[in-house]
A and B are shown apart, each in its own frame.
Chain A
């Protein structure tokens, strides 16, 4: 298209690099031998709250931590606990807070938690969008309008239609989540629709366009869309396939790699059972870092298979990470 494209040089440390795509890097070339690399906590930018533990009203077939109505292996955090962690986080200079579960809207004190959080910094809520009754949403929307920080609502949907979404998330969930999106829009939110790439990567653009068309039909003229890679752990390991032995992060793969692309370089997750390295790995005992932020600030070893996906795509759980494909 253009005559003289600039030459390509290796990344340097001065700025955050582009995501690494699987087509550009071959982890397998690096081999799978040797100890997994350690990632230092550069700074605690983001504190996550596993606010409803593993308790969710849905039972999605691709859930990486096997959340379900009857999985109480992780329980709720109380309002007092969240307030305490907010206070403790101040001296760490935390930039923003994320609320996840389970389904955060199952928590009766979510509105109060968000109100306290937004006094301190921006917040994001990761929801399946199916439990947004007006009595839960109205006070949160009021808080969001009055706050000087952004409150992001991220709604998970895994296909642009009931036919594509419901086999993953459950019967009737597409219509219920779309109803949730409609309510969020009516309250002035601009939800980030977050879809796991449960389709073939070649279909990304087609699926993206179908999402946009469907969301526009709700009146969401410029929908915000984030596509996540699938993580082959939890139920997804059985649905697709588990990771192979070669799909591991090695020391060699970290050479020249910007560590701050990895969530564990800038985040920790508070659960009712202690602090974990990342929201993906709370079911892995080795990912428990301790019971205080001080204990949890030690380096994380990338020895879980899901670390491979994070390495490949970078910061997949934050609002602005995800899969971006070349459309030029």
Chain B
């Protein structure tokens, strides 16, 4: 059995952004990540969903199933993102139909076999990776709308010390009482609604076996976002999506944001 990795890279939703995924894999490898993980939502939003899967397989990224993957794999009628606003749902539907149409049956079968969660044990620290939250694949855990006492309950209930999730698109982390940690690792698929074109992933460092808590760092990734925008336009994806890639500001699927996160964006 190979020893547990001391440093891992954890990617959030890829949203078909194969260029950002390739850049993140290269960046994480250069930073000494010994194992790569992806927390699901491989398709959506971007162009050519099938370009993502070979990268994950070739680079041995360990992947779990997000709500998007679950929907595409099972042929559900929508992405299960949980939007309630009609405009958000309109764009979610456009994106879902495009992604569904352009995902090969072979990869749908592959996604159907992905696990719902991944667990690691590193020096007794129980790491739980999931998509939305440990209890619900499509739960949004926003920094300003999630109490620490809730995260503490969630970690205890699911027998974890370190919980890693994605789904919302904005990275954040919080230490929990008793040495635990929760982190939303952000996404590679689109910028974090911060006016920057980079996307984010997380590097988790377990340090030496003798050292105490693991340290999590968010890493920005530059990639050829203009090329991605060109591919999106060629595929006739909504110009609103392209604008997000080019400006770093979310234009769609924003009504689920809590007040604090909403106020930080442009729209």
Contact = CB atoms under 8 A, between A and B. Distances in A.
A153 B258 CA distance: 11
Interface centre among B76, B84, B145, B255 (most CB of A within 10 A): B84
Contacts, number: 134
B138 A150 contact: no
B89 interface: yes
Contacts of B147: 93-96, 120-122, 149
A95 B150 contact: yes
A71 B263 CA distance: 37
Contacts of B67: 14-15
A217 interface: no
B124 interface: no
Main secondary structure of the interface of A (DSSP, over half): loop
B250 to A, nearest CB: 11
Contacts of A241: none
Main secondary structure of the interface of B (DSSP, over half): helix
A160 interface: no
Interface in A292-328: 319-322, 324-328
Nearest to A93: B153
Contact of A15 (B138, B142, B258): B138
B137 A321 contact: no
A190 interface: yes
Contacts of A22: none
A4 B84 contact: no
Given A16-B80, A16-B82, A45-B150, A3 B101 contact: yes
B136 A15 contact: yes
B31 interface: no
Nearest to B153: A93
A121 B148 CA distance: 7
Contacts of A8: 76-77
Interface size class of A (residues with CB under 8 A): 35 or more
B38 to A, nearest CB: 18
A5 interface: yes
Given A8-B76, A93-B153, A190-B263, A326 B89 contact: yes
Interface centre among A2, A3, A14, A188 (most CB of B within 10 A): A14
A190 B259 contact: yes
A90 interface: yes
Contacts of B87: 327
B84 A150 contact: no
A8 B67 CA distance: 16
Given A2-B101, A14-B70, A148-B144, A324 B150 contact: no
A322 B143 CA distance: 23
A327 B67 CA distance: 23
A243 interface: no
B203 to A, nearest CB: 24
Contacts of B70: 14-15
Interface stretch (B2-10, B90-98, B219-227): B90-98
Nearest to B93: A328
